[in-house]
Structure 1
Amino acid sequence: MSSFSRRAFLGGAGAATTGAALSLAGATFASAAEIDRALARTATRAVRIGGTTLEQVATPSGAAGYQRLLSGPGWPLVVRGELAGPQTGRDDRRTGLASFVQFTDMHLCDTESPMRFEYLARWNGAAHRPQETLTVRGASALVERVNAIATGPYTGLPFSLVMATGDNTDNHEQLELDWYLTVMSGGRITPNSGDPNRYEGVQNSGSAAYWNPELGYQDSYKAKGFPQIPGFLGAAGRSFDAPGLKTPWYTTVGNHDDSIEGTLPDLGLLNSIYTGDRKIEGCNDADAAKLAAQLQHDPAGAVLQLGRLLTDADAVREITPDARRKPFTTKEFAQAHLNPAHTGAGPYGHGFSSDAVASGNLYYAFRISDSVLGISLDTTNAAGFADGSIGSAQLSWLEKQLQAHSGHWYDTSGNAVRNGRGGDLIVLFSHHTSTTMGNLLPDPRHLFEKRHDGNELVALLQRYPNVVAWVNGHSHENRITAHGHAVPERAFWEINTASHIDFPQHARIIELADNGDGTISLFTTLIESSAPYATDFQDTSDAGLASLYRELSFNDLYATPAAKLGTALDHNTELVLAKPGR
């Protein structure tokens, strides 16, 4: 039977197993899942904690060097009342409105691709991670976790959907996109490119700058305690069957789905490098530092520097070319979601339509539940650089959606406007956060269109009381921000969740509930993949590799796990908000 945490039951309520049926307060249920939902509906704070960080959390066991992970105590629920006071008795009055899951920043990674910058890891930790050969297996283990949990801990409602909020691929390659779609929908995956019989990336380069897991000599990672694991790379590239989500899923686009390594604008000029036979594995510090700076400030110079490095025989390794590494366009990204082979649990297109393919506009509205509307935005900017913004046409479209689904709103002068049609609660999804939308360069897809930053978007959302949450990623950290302290009716919560490539590798369950007292609650519960917490360096099974994926991410030499983890205020929370007037 599932794990529960209760403060109290209703008087006379009890649970017992009798044969194949379960009984609660005189009612009979056929399964543990049904009793989970009944408990959540009828008991005071009856919570199904199994499989979530309410129950247990990956916890380091050492003080220095390479640290092993074990199962540690779960994190408690933290009630946040900055935007509305939590009322007593709300647990017993609560009615569930919606329950869904957020994935973000999975960065499914073709580590053998020529268009990668591993040699810049000292200057940018995201350029290379020792765990990145295992991204596909780690993501599949996360899917397994969601399939096993199936319902929200506090409302008991089955998940209506999973939303992946961008950077689903690492380098917007067609092969990475196929892996993403297959992880989400299910099917056979071979997480390998180039030569199918051998690994051709930096982790068997013999360079001390990288973790060479199969080699015995002391590279810089083994000097810090990383293990030697014979057969690791062959196992990492081995085919396996991904179960796929049992829940419908949707996609939001991120900058790594849109540009070269999430930074360089893709004008089609470097496709021959993507699909070619030359991979830069290292260069001298001066060249590396120069390229790292150019990627931040001078994209054109970075392209020229790449071309020069490709002629340096000491920096380049010859590999097997692979046409599947060709980068996809915005329209191809949408089209791939319409492939019936990837429909899985649905919906067809996963938010994208034939209109999105024709226009390249990757924003859309969709139904989360009967009373909750979802809006997915495209905050990427094809001009390059990691941060984003939003164009005027999309901003205008967004305001029309907000007006169509709001009972009332405030114009720019602060006057109330009513449409007389009631309204939905509205949850926005984007890749970028409000603080990472400062890239106002003209987007090459819409050269003459004005771009708008995160402050403008926050100001717009605060005019629409029906907006209750903005859910996003990009930062690779857990952070929940209250917007609108001064005027409760114009308040909403921004929910930012850590990535699934860097530790802590979290996803997030989000539930909405009406408290029956003029407030609503948003419950945010972090989850980890289904992989065991304890690793075994001799275990290269699928589960063993997924477990190692988590542990390696914690020990990445260039990572900062504490900075990504967030505080208790950003983990398992109840976010209270005034219910918008109807």
Structure 2
Amino acid sequence: MPAPEPARIPSPLDRRTLLIASGAGLAAAGGATAWVFGPGSDRASARPTTAPSVPAPRTATSAPATTTPPAPAVPTTVGTTLHSVATPTGKGPFRRLTDGPGWKRVVRADLAPAHPGRADRRTVVAAFVQLTDLHVMDVQSPLRMEWMREHGPHDWRPHEALSVLSTLSLIDRVNSLRGGPVTGHPLSFAITTGDNTDNNSTVELDWFLTAMSGGRIDPNTGDPQAFEGIQNSGLPLFWQPESARTDADKKLGFPHLPGYLSAAMRPLTAPGLTIPWYSTVGNHDALFSGAYRSGPHGSFAAQTAVGDRKLEQVPHADMMRVYKAVSAQQDPDGTLVRGVLQRYARTARTVTPDARRAPFTPQEYLAAHLDPRRTGAGPVGHGYAAEGVDADHMYYSFPVAEGVLGISLDTTDRGGAFLGSIGSEQLAWLGRTLDAHSDQHILVFSHHPSHSMTNLRADPARPKEKRHSGDELTALLKKHPNVLAWINGHSHHNRIDPRGTFWEVNTASHVDYPQLARVIEIVDNHDGTLSLITTLIESAAPHRTDYHDLSTTGLASLYRELAFNAPGADISSTTGKADDRNAELLLRKR
């Protein structure tokens, strides 16, 4: 039986039809009343509505549906950065945000020509969304290293206590989208490209999985009645939001916000994604602080995480030794960190211990994804298979659409350090998978981009296995002209590079400004070319916040504004150039 004809992109609309179609909102699966962060900064988050139908969950090994897809929704840019982008206003070191003009789309013909009239011929191949570097974090954990801010202001973020809430706001935005902004085609899935958690912490993993699949989240650890973190330590190096005293960040215009910490720790109800989602592992998911081996449950990292001593400041000389070592990737097992924690234990703050803060193992990470309670919109395991738990395999393939295969890689080097690589076994598996699917288009997903895969340290679990760099991985992908794109995160930058036969698409994080996710629509131009059309989206929170508003909506907006003003943030670099953001990426059809 021949494959169904792909959905043809609707013709341009009149203004009245567009406005009727753009009144989108958010909803949990099953047509329930929406859970919203609105009123938002645009019409896409302005009011509740009814959820669109949710595709049936499917396993990573099942074949994609071959029935004719439903008629695409009316395409609209509302809810995307084509429509509006948070833009600074005013003067001074701390700037407020407001609604600003959207970013235009740039056509990139580096790998194939842009033939005229292609927009009228196009049919949809696939449409999905990438989320990356959410860094869901427990800011009260004793294993956190906030004391590294002594090196530089950006070594600690003033907005970190709102990471769970901001993740829910981004999920709200994805749920609100009616389809791809160019094709109107329903988004068939979402995929995270690593650093889902911040500190390899069990409670962070629980919050991440609940946020993605739906349920109640209590974003608090330790004492249920009191905050025990750096932001009520009284240390002037850090923003103390509830104190009227001046600190380093208040000197830069950060506000005094009584009640902020209590509001940040309030229980939340996560709607969960209403589309299937897949998960990719990052270095912060496998290593504490994204750089150090956690070791077994009885290791110093585990003992510190679940203990009652939280170190908040360290002499400058000791801090610099740790900083230089981690920057040079010279302390993968955290020997210097352990020495600092032990040397200054008597000066550490006493906090309430919490067993949920323990680091998780690779097997526990996989098992948590396979927990039926985490299925949400599916598929079971979110790409990971039960047989991979014992084998500790965090790479897999999955069906994207008819004739399109997705491949999720594990680029974290568990030997330690924040840069990545892959082992020989995984590289060989990738080669076999590419060979076996030479008749399909291929999308590759990973946490690390090619330029950050230079860490060839052996994996302690496989000490004799050779590690391979990003250059080697790029060379393998170039041998398979059916590979369309390599999509990744880690760098916290927007960057798109042509790689000879495919595009490498690197998307900024959701923890550092500009805090974006990326919608990708793949279309056949029926002229010998394909186009990957990328569109960035912000969270559902309004661009402007009222400091007196400590509701979930107000705090989600505050998260963005605090991130924009975070001391040391390199906004122009992380945002990227115009052709790294909303782009049409042309490819020759193989």
Structure 1 residues 146, 8: CA separation in 2 closer, same or farther (over 3 Å shift)?
closer
What count of residue pairs does the alignment treat as equivalent?
534
Residues 1:375 and 2:445 aligned together: no
Structure 1 residues 39, 351: CA separation in 2 closer, same or farther (over 3 Å shift)?
closer
Q: Secondary structure at the match of 2:289?
A: coil
Structure 1 residues 9, 448: CA separation in 2 closer, same or farther (over 3 Å shift)?
closer
Contact kept, 8 Å, 1:189 with 1:241, in 2: the verdict is yes
Residues 1:391 and 2:407 aligned together: no
Structure 1 residues 225, 39: CA separation in 2 closer, same or farther (over 3 Å shift)?
farther
d(CA) in 1 for partners of 2:477, 2:275 = 29
Q: Secondary structure at the match of 2:81?
A: coil
Aligned residue in 2 for 1:3 = none
**What does 1:313-392 correspond to in 2, within 5 Å?**
315-392=347-424
Residues 1:271 and 2:302 aligned together: yes
1:140 alignment partner AA: L
Q: 1:150: how far off?
A: 3.6
Contact kept, 8 Å, 2:178 with 2:184, in 1: the verdict is no
Contact kept, 8 Å, 1:116 with 1:127, in 2: the verdict is no
* Residue of structure 2 aligned with 1:258, choices 277, 286, 291: 286
TM-score by length of 2: 0.87
Aligned residue in 2 for 1:456 = 472
d(CA) in 1 for partners of 2:276, 2:184 = 18
d(CA) in 1 for partners of 2:137, 2:242 = 20
Contact kept, 8 Å, 2:311 with 2:345, in 1: the verdict is no
Q: 1:63: how far off?
A: 3.3
Residues 1:573 and 2:589 aligned together: no
Which structure 2 residue ranges, 5 or more long, are not aligned? 1-8, 23-49, 54-68
Contact kept, 8 Å, 1:124 with 1:292, in 2: the verdict is no
Q: After the TM superposition, which of the residue ranges 459-468 and 312-321 deviates more from structure 2?
A: 312-321
d(CA) in 2 for partners of 1:169, 1:62 = 34
Contact kept, 8 Å, 2:132 with 2:517, in 1: the verdict is yes
TM-score by length of 1: 0.88
Q: After the TM superposition, which of the residue ranges 55-64 and 494-503 deviates more from structure 2?
A: 55-64
Contact kept, 8 Å, 1:263 with 1:386, in 2: the verdict is yes
Aligned residue in 2 for 1:418 = none
d(CA) in 1 for partners of 2:114, 2:21 = 37
Residues 1:494 and 2:504 aligned together: yes
Residues 1:180 and 2:212 aligned together: no
Contact kept, 8 Å, 1:283 with 1:315, in 2: the verdict is no
2:426 alignment partner AA: Q
Contact kept, 8 Å, 2:294 with 2:333, in 1: the verdict is no
Q: 1:15: how far off?
A: 8.0
Deviations 1:428-451 (A, max 9, x none): 000000000000111112110111
2:94 alignment partner AA: Y
d(CA) in 2 for partners of 1:132, 1:367 = 35
> Larger Rg: 1 or 2?
1
* Residue of structure 2 aligned with 1:425, choices 421, 437, 441: 441
d(CA) in 2 for partners of 1:330, 1:33 = 35
Q: 1:572: how far off?
A: 0.6
Contact kept, 8 Å, 2:126 with 2:400, in 1: the verdict is yes
* Residue of structure 1 aligned with 2:555, choices 516, 534, 545: 545
* Residue of structure 2 aligned with 1:96, choices 124, 129, 139: 124
Residues 1:78 and 2:106 aligned together: yes
Residues 1:510 and 2:520 aligned together: yes
2:566 alignment partner AA: D
Structure 1 residues 33, 353: CA separation in 2 closer, same or farther (over 3 Å shift)?
closer
Deviations 1:257-293 (A, max 9, x none): 0001101122232211010000000112112111212
Q: Secondary structure at the match of 1:216?
A: coil
d(CA) in 2 for partners of 1:124, 1:150 = 42
1:132 alignment partner AA: E
d(CA) in 2 for partners of 1:263, 1:314 = 26
Contact kept, 8 Å, 1:55 with 1:73, in 2: the verdict is yes
**What does 1:530-541 correspond to in 2, within 5 Å?**
530-541=540-551
Quick check: which one's strand share is greater?
A: 1
Structure 1 residues 300, 473: CA separation in 2 closer, same or farther (over 3 Å shift)?
closer
d(CA) in 1 for partners of 2:337, 2:436 = 50
Q: 1:307: how far off?
A: 3.6
Contact kept, 8 Å, 2:293 with 2:333, in 1: the verdict is no
Contact kept, 8 Å, 2:375 with 2:381, in 1: the verdict is yes
Aligned residue in 2 for 1:284 = 315
Q: 1:47: how far off?
A: 4.5
d(CA) in 1 for partners of 2:288, 2:51 = 47
Q: Secondary structure at the match of 1:86?
A: coil
d(CA) in 1 for partners of 2:340, 2:129 = 45
1:353 alignment partner AA: A
d(CA) in 2 for partners of 1:429, 1:131 = 28
Contact kept, 8 Å, 2:293 with 2:334, in 1: the verdict is no
d(CA) in 1 for partners of 2:51, 2:373 = 32
d(CA) in 1 for partners of 2:239, 2:153 = 14
Aligned residue in 1 for 2:252 = 224
1:562 alignment partner AA: S
Aligned residue in 2 for 1:106 = 134
Which structure 1 residue ranges, 5 or more long, are not aligned? 1-6, 23-30, 407-422, 485-490
Aligned residue in 1 for 2:325 = 294
1:366 alignment partner AA: F
d(CA) in 2 for partners of 1:336, 1:576 = 38
Q: 1:86: how far off?
A: 0.5
Q: Secondary structure at the match of 1:121?
A: helix
RMSD: 2.3
d(CA) in 1 for partners of 2:105, 2:336 = 52
d(CA) in 2 for partners of 1:21, 1:229 = 39
Q: Secondary structure at the match of 2:313?
A: coil
Q: Secondary structure at the match of 1:299?
A: coil
d(CA) in 2 for partners of 1:242, 1:286 = 43
d(CA) in 1 for partners of 2:571, 2:159 = 14
Q: 1:123: how far off?
A: 2.8
Structure 1 residues 541, 467: CA separation in 2 closer, same or farther (over 3 Å shift)?
same
Deviations 1:368-408 (A, max 9, x none): 111211000000001111000011110010011101111xx
Residues 1:138 and 2:166 aligned together: yes
Residues 1:469 and 2:500 aligned together: no
2:389 alignment partner AA: V
Aligned residue in 1 for 2:434 = 402
Aligned residue in 1 for 2:228 = 200
Q: 1:21: how far off?
A: 11
Q: Secondary structure at the match of 1:137?
A: helix
